[in-house]
A = this chain, B = another copy of it.
Amino acid sequence: MIFASDNWAGASAPVAAALAAAAAGMAPAYGSDAVTRTVEARFREVFERDVAVFLVTTGTAANALSLQALMRTAGMVICHEGAHIHGDEAGAVEFFSGGRLHPVPGAAGKLDADAVASAIGRYPAGGRNGRPVAVSLTQASELGTVYRPDEISAIADTARAAGLSVHMDGARFANALVSLGVSPAEMTWRAGVDVLSFGATKNGCWCAEAVVLFDPSRAEDLRYARQRAGQMVSKSRFLAAQFEAYLHGDHWLDNARHANAMARRLADGIVAGRFGRLNTPCEANEVFAILPDAARRRAEAAGARIYPWPPTGDAEVREGETLMRLVASFATSAEDVDRFLAILGDG
């Protein structure tokens, strides 16, 4: 009953097998191997257009390099106040890019176009305090919700009209994608996204993230930036092999569908059993539920691993309750979900 985080899982069987198979033999280093070439082609196929792809080792690095690619002197990145880049990455974006973040609130963990417009308006042209250069949105969001393509477009249009670029932190890209049932293109560049942090670690890989540039003219700078950031893995097929297995056929989408289904099963069970209340809709692989502390203690005593989440503006958390985040992954079993629900209900 591990619902602590999707990064408590290991690697999916196909990914593990791909790595084991790749271990033997020699291959050119520093991204010049054949598997990396294959993966780059697969990304073009997945996104139905030319893209520049940079494989890196962590989501933090992917975000920081992505926003470095969009930065200009004294630039600000508008993001949700709950964004991972703001609250969990120790200032990596600021360190890599030399810019700053401008966090804004937003219901259900999401930015909206009005909030973005208002933030942009804080920086009049010719002002002394810097300038907004990009918007970063997280898909799925930090509260387990998902931006619809029209919501992304509305934000991107607002950004673009003011000269800003758009970044998507896709740490849970696949979970959002299968939740919406749209194509990768529809969820990104067709909606106005310029640069994507494409996450694969949480959904079945060991350590495999990518920066995807929809404008390949930014690629030369990013190539140098990745090298300078210590993110150019020498035995590069090691990253590529994970991606090859991950993106083979529907493996990545299947993993995400399973994780989402498990989260849905959790959320539905909590609501149906009246074990607690949902703080935000369950739209991907995370459940944000307000649980009675007694139920939480029972679950923990039974070995469940779950974490509280800082109450956001959305939640009404009463005395004797806690907002908990419950995360499902490709490795979560229906048995564990049901057992957990049974314990919650066993009050």
- Size of the A side of the interface (Cβ < 8 Å), in residues, is 75
Is the pair B230, A10 in contact by a Cβ cutoff of 8 Å?
no
Name the one of B19, B65, B89 contacting A20, with C-beta atoms under 8 angstroms.
Answer: B19
**CB-CB contacts of A229-260 with B at 8 A, as 1s and 0s?**
11111110111000000000000000000000
Q: Are A221 and B90 in contact (CB under 8 A)?
A: no
Considering the complex, give the chain B residue whose CB is closest to the CB of A12: B23
Q: Are B57 and A230 in contact (CB under 8 A)?
A: yes
- 0/1 string, A1-40, CB within 8 A of B gives 1: 0101101111111011101101111111110000000000
Q: Is the CB of A331 within 8 A of B26?
A: yes
Number of copies of this protein chain within its complex: 4
> With an 8 A cutoff between CB atoms, is A131 at the interface?
yes
Contact B128 A238 (CB under 8 A): no
- In Å, the complex CA distance between A22 and B16 comes to 9
Contact A230 B20 (CB under 8 A): no
Which among B57, B58, B227, B237 is the interface contact of A89 at CB below 8 angstroms? B227
A73 within 8 A of B: yes
- Are B128 and A232 touching (Cβ within 8 A)? yes
Whether the Cβ atoms of A10 and B235 lie closer than 8 Å is yes
Q: Which residues of B contact A25 (CB under 8 A)?
A: 10
Please indicate which of the listed interface residues A17, A23, A89, A98 has the most CB atoms of chain B within 10 Å of its own CB: A23
With a cutoff of 8 Å between Cβ atoms, the chain B residues found around residue A183 in the complex are none
With A206-B19, A231-B58 known as contacts, the answer to whether A91 contacts B99 (CB < 8 A) is yes
A-B contact pairs, 27 of them (CB 8 A): A4-B28, A7-B30, A10-B22, A10-B26, A10-B235, A10-B238, A11-B19, A56-B230, A57-B230, A58-B232, A61-B229, A61-B230, A72-B221, A73-B221, A74-B91, A74-B224, A74-B225, A89-B129, A89-B228, A92-B227, A92-B229, A98-B98, A100-B100, A130-B228, A131-B224, A207-B207, A229-B230
